[in-house]
Structure 1
């Protein structure tokens, strides 16, 4: 089982930051790994260097098909790491590095489980496995999961390997990313009253929206809106009143909130301060909810209990690719073995025991399904 440690380390050492997006090297590594164990993987690209890995494993009867899908890319490492982000250093029973938890630990578990199934000469009678490790997950999946999903044959269930601590993510909040451009009026910095400062307008608008979100959450404890200002930029010189400013906002919201309703709230708030603005939707994903009680989920729960892990269902605050799966009409959940609160963090790590246990859980889950299908 030490191979899972080496495998995780090798994956972390391969820089696959997105942006800029360069998954070809890590996809080739996974390709070579699977081919070495007798699989027939393929590499798919929708742009130069933006590689995805697809490996289909047919069973004797092909009664059902499951999709296993981690991703290859990571967010940028950034600065201020105490442990070099691509060193994959082992310390205190953890492996450190960018992507350790999001999502190279999960990727390593998937690869290791497939390798062990081959080594054990396990021949599946009923369950087809589609292993898909994708590019561009951190930037919307337009060069990975989205175009490939539409080309895949019948899928009965999807296990998105992008979760942590063996939690079953069955639903996720909606996502609305906005860019608000505010126009003001230029003036000399010594005479601010002669102009209209677009930066101050932007700050006041954000403060008003933030306070509104707080009131909504206080009024309805189940609402749990979250709002983040991720980028703001404006002005030309320190001695000039800024005549333009833009800010980019990230709103996460629950079910029963429509895109149109939320945009109207933003527009009404902005127009309390100015009519000189534009509002652009950068990204939108509706909230989604999958089934919590079906054949696949029950098998997963039984497998977890077999490892003395209590099944825990959760709603994701962040965006995943689960919505793309459900939109196609395929049931699925997000699941994984990473360490909680480590995704995108400085000095990111994954706990080594999670890797060992993750391989057992994933492998036993697949075997359990194949065995149960004998009775269908």
Structure 2
């Protein structure tokens, strides 16, 4: 296993501007060709005009564990220079290096690594729209409702610094409209500026009771003012304004209660709302335990179960009853100007994925064995547990 493999493949993927449709198609063509050149079974498809790549190794049939390596090739927009990868020490810089072309490249290599084993069915899926604003029609939802629906476990390569993401916040996207009173721009005191009122509304949302809650894996929810639009003339006091508020709420919070708190603020109207439920998978799931053991051996330390602030396609698997976690390499700066991934962590990431597949059958057999009762003491006597 060569560290250079991960670097070269990740660098190649970064060079594609996959914030654009043409870049997505070119990158998907490269992924497909790379897999086929290594005699891996590939099926390519299209979802709303964008390419979807699926590949498969290992046996099929009843009783065979079915594991998915899931990644996305699309990225958020970036300056042209960010699609020119550069290496500084252990860091590979470039758009998508951390989220998540480094992980995607390593999953491709791990799929090749486990291609010769005969005990686990491993499917690789590369989607083009995880970062898309279109929340109503994602390719992963169609895939899970179809060819991927019989999977037993899914690993999505979102950035986690080699920890295992067993929970992720829910998404509540709210568009709030605020109205004021128009006046001439030279006499603003005669009007009621809707843009200023909208900013005040956002500050009040930040102080609502839901914003101060916490859970075992999260300190608090996040609240982001993501878009604002108002006014229709330079020399006029704006009489209307809307803002988009991106709320990432905790698994123990009720989005209906959050909306009720927002509606309690005077002089606003909620005109649009989208909710994506939190992701939660049991930390005692046998597949999660097997991954944790594999990561522990690959990184030479304990693998932590963590909560993830951002949303991902993992929730699509969970909504269909398929246990899924986020698990990706070490890095930083995703969606920012200096995004990077640790090259040495890509090697450990690849080793962990391979170890998971190699040791999974034995781990599942052990998990299926009945656990013997043990006797424990307490103040009132002894009980079997």
Q: CA deviation at 1:290?
A: 0.5
Q: 5+ residue gaps in structure 2?
A: 369-385
2:358 counterpart residue number: 367
Any idea what SS the aligned residue of 1:298 has?
A: helix
Distance 1:302 1:261 in 2: 39
Which residues of 2 match residues 59-208 of structure 1 at below 5 A? 59=59, 63-78=64-79, 84-118=81-115, 122-124=116-118, 126-139=119-132, 140=135, 142-152=137-147, 153-208=149-204
1:209 maps to 2:209: no
Q: CA deviation at 1:371?
A: 5.1
2:13 to 7, 11, 14: 11
Q: CA deviation at 1:12?
A: 0.5
Q: Is the Cα–Cα contact under 8 Å of residues 160 and 334 in structure 1 kept in the other structure? A: yes
Q: Is the Cα–Cα contact under 8 Å of residues 232 and 238 in structure 2 kept in the other structure? A: yes
Any idea what SS the aligned residue of 2:85 has?
A: coil
Q: Is the Cα–Cα contact under 8 Å of residues 158 and 327 in structure 2 kept in the other structure? A: yes
1:53 maps to 2:53: yes
Summarize the Cα distance change of 1:54–1:288 in structure 2 as closer, same or farther, 3 Å threshold. Answer: same
Q: Is the Cα–Cα contact under 8 Å of residues 181 and 246 in structure 1 kept in the other structure? A: yes
Summarize the Cα distance change of 1:87–1:233 in structure 2 as closer, same or farther, 3 Å threshold. Answer: same
Which residues of 2 match residues 22-37 of structure 1 at below 5 A? 22-37=23-38
Distance 1:25 1:199 in 2: 42
2:271 to 279, 300, 310: 279
Q: CA deviation at 1:108?
A: 0.6
Q: CA deviation at 1:154?
A: 1.2
Distance 1:90 1:217 in 2: 41
Distance 1:209 1:310 in 2: 39
2:377 counterpart residue number: none
Distance 1:176 1:237 in 2: 31
Summarize the Cα distance change of 1:337–1:252 in structure 2 as closer, same or farther, 3 Å threshold. Answer: same
Q: Is the Cα–Cα contact under 8 Å of residues 162 and 327 in structure 2 kept in the other structure? A: yes
Summarize the Cα distance change of 1:32–1:141 in structure 2 as closer, same or farther, 3 Å threshold. Answer: farther
The number of residues matched between the two structures is: 360
Q: Is the Cα–Cα contact under 8 Å of residues 72 and 107 in structure 1 kept in the other structure? A: yes
Distance 1:16 1:215 in 2: 35
Q: 5+ residue gaps in structure 1?
A: none
Distance 2:290 2:151 in 1: 17
Deviations 1:187-235 (A, max 9, x none): 11222233221112112211211222587349x9966121110111211
Deviations 1:60-92 (A, max 9, x none): 65521111101110111148xxxx211111222
Which residues of 2 match residues 244-283 of structure 1 at below 5 A? 244-269=240-265, 271=266, 274=267, 277-281=269-273, 283=274
Name the TM-score, length of structure 2 as normaliser: 0.87
